[in-house]
Structure 1
Amino acid sequence: MPRRARLLLPAVPLHITQRGHNRQPCFHLDDDYRAYLYCMRKNVELMDISVHAYVLMTNHVHLLISFEQPDTVGDFMKALAQHHTQYLNERLKRTGTVWEGRFKSCPVPTEKYLIICQQYVELNPVRAAMVNSVAQYPWSSYRENAGLRHDELVRPHQLYLDFGSTVQTRAEYYRGLFNNTDDRLFDDIRKATAADAIPGLPPPLRGRPRKQ
């Protein structure tokens, strides 16, 4: 059965998930996370991609990004997977794939879902019972968006910038949003990403696959 064409809309943020092959761990040591983030920083500059939120879990990643050219998305994820696979195989003295061959994604309608999607991404460690508080997890964008630590990888979306006129005001407002989250909207995002669809809408019909 042919793959469903990936839905890519320029200037519309994209929520991406990619899992380890057979759900195997992709990160073992702190240096493994640092190596992945280093590759992200290098490639967002080369490809003019903006990372609004991210989380690196033990065996998968979530990214919320904006891009200008659709072709850059596949190139970006390919570069991350290849670089991290080479790094990890060399460190562990092994061969073989680390990541699943195809990442999952969904466009994120800005007004209703963008900030909800940021929260969904950053709350993953809490939902997985890895930490008690979202601020405790070191491998996510939360501390930057919440004003707790500078992270040069993160480029805030305009909707986030509209939270206030100063960094402190925006960060305080953002932290407050985590006191009242909507699990129904989180579920919309989870289902849409799994189906390469748009949150709140049915999956698109299967069609001719787009090369990635």
Structure 2
Amino acid sequence: MPRHARIVAAGLPMHVILRGIDRTAIFFAEGDYRVFSEILAALAESESVRVHAYVLMTNHVHLLMTPATDRGPARLMKGLGQRYVQHINRTYRRTGTLFEGRFRSAVIETDGYLLACQRYIELNPVRARMVRTPEDYPWSSYRCNALGVADPVIAPHPLYLDLADADEARRSRYRGLFADAIPQDMLTALRDATNGGFVLGSQRFQKQIATMVGRRTWPGTSGRPRKESANGEQLGLPI
């Protein structure tokens, strides 16, 4: 069965996951994380992709980004894979690939979903029980978004900037968002959308994107229906 073309919409945020092949490690020393971050920052600038959040885990990477063009994400991820694998192979005297053949992604509706996705990304090390708090993990965007630590990778999304007018007030309000757990139905919808290459958002938004790309942009209806969100919508499942 031929695989579907990736759903990309210039100007709309995307959640992206890049995994190591067979879920094996992709980072082996602190220097590897730094090299990956440097390559990511350079490519984000050259491909006109704004990265709002990221986390570099042992065997996978999460990114939240907004491309200026439809080709931006694929070009960024291709360059990232090629240049980083070259570094790893040269450093550790190995050959062959490092990543799964295709990165996974989902277009994200801004209102109601973007900051939840950003929190989901930055909380990954906590969920994996690697650290107690997101600020304890050095290889994510949390210290930039929540504490103001400079990070050349990050370009804040307007929704994040709208949290407050002043920098410290904005960061304080952002930190406050982490006091509440992300609802389980949101976590499930985010994972399903990204792993399936669909769209995360309201029913109206998903149908709008479906019209743009000419195919279904939400998971199929087999199995049990999804739980409803707080506003009564079935996350990831238009009717």
TM-score grouping bracket, smaller chain normalisation: over 0.9
Displacement of 1:37: 0.4
Alignment of 1:55-66 (within 5 A): 55-66=55-66
SS in 2 for 1:110: coil
**What is the distance in 2 between the residues matched to 1:186 and 1:144?**
23
Deviations 1:91-124 (A, max 9, x none): 1111010011100000010001000000000000
Cα deviation, residue 68, structure 1: 1.2
Bigger Rg, structure 1 or 2 = 2
Aligned counterpart, 2:6: 6
- Which residue number in structure 1 is paired with residue 190 of structure 2? 189
The equivalent residue for 1:34 is 34
- Aligned to 2:8, the other structure's residue is in SS state coil
Q: What is residue 126 of structure 1 aligned with on the other side?
A: 126
Q: Which amino acid aligns with 1:187?
A: T
Supply the distance in 1 between the matched residues of 2:43 and 2:5 (Cα, whole angstroms). 24
CA offset at residue 182 of structure 1?
2.2
Are positions 1:203 and 2:204 aligned together?
no
Tell me if the contact between 1:55 and 1:139 (Cα under 8 Å) persists in the aligned partners: yes
| Equivalent position amino acid for 2:64 in 1 | L
Equivalent in the alignment of 1:154: 154
The 1-side partners of 2:86 and 2:141 are apart by 25
How far apart, CA to CA, are the structure 2 residues paired with 1:188 and 1:151?
29
**4+ residue segments displaced more than 6 Å:** none
Give the gaps of 5 or more residues in structure 2.
207-217, 221-239
1:105 is the counterpart of 2:105: yes
Looking at structure 1, the residues matched to 219 and 114 of structure 2 have their Cα atoms a distance apart, in angstroms, of 19
What is the count of residue pairs matched by the alignment?
A: 205
Distance in 1 (CA, whole Å) between partners of 2:172 and 2:52 is 17
8 Å contact 1:147–1:167 — kept in the other structure? Answer: no
Measured after TM superposition, the shift of residue 185 of structure 1 is 1.2
Q: Once the two structures are superposed, what CA deviation does each residue of 1:31-67 show, in whole Å capped at 9, x if it has no partner?
A: 0000100101111111111000000000000000001
Q: How far has the Cα of 1:198 moved from its partner?
A: 1.3
Letter in 1 for 2:127: R
What is the identity percentage for the equivalent residue pairs of Structure 1 and Structure 2? 42
Q: What is the TM-score when the length of structure 2 is the normalising length?
A: 0.83
Q: Which residue of 2 aligns with 1:25?
A: 25
Of the two structures, which has the highest relative contact order with CA contacts closer than 8 Å and spacing of 6 or more?
Answer: 1
The aligned counterpart of 1:69 is 69
Deviation at residue 153 of structure 1 after TM alignment: 1.4
Deviation (angstroms), 1:148: 4.3
CA–CA distance in structure 1, aligned partners of residues 60 and 9 of structure 2: 24
Aligned twin of 2:212: none
* 1:155-179 deviation per Cα after TM superposition (whole angstroms, max 9, x unaligned): 1110001001111011000000000
- Structure 1 letter corresponding to 2:197: D
Query: Quick one: distance in 2 between partners of 1:146 and 1:186?
Result: 21
Unmatched segments (≥5 aa) in structure 1: 205-212
Give the Å deviation of 1:137: 0.3
Partner of 2:95: 95
User: Contact 2:106–2:197 (CA<8 Å) still a contact in 1?
Assistant: yes
Contact 1:106 1:196 in 2 (8 A): yes
Residue by residue over 1:63-86, the C-alpha shift from the partner in whole angstroms, topping out at 9 and shown as x without a partner, is 000011111111100000111100
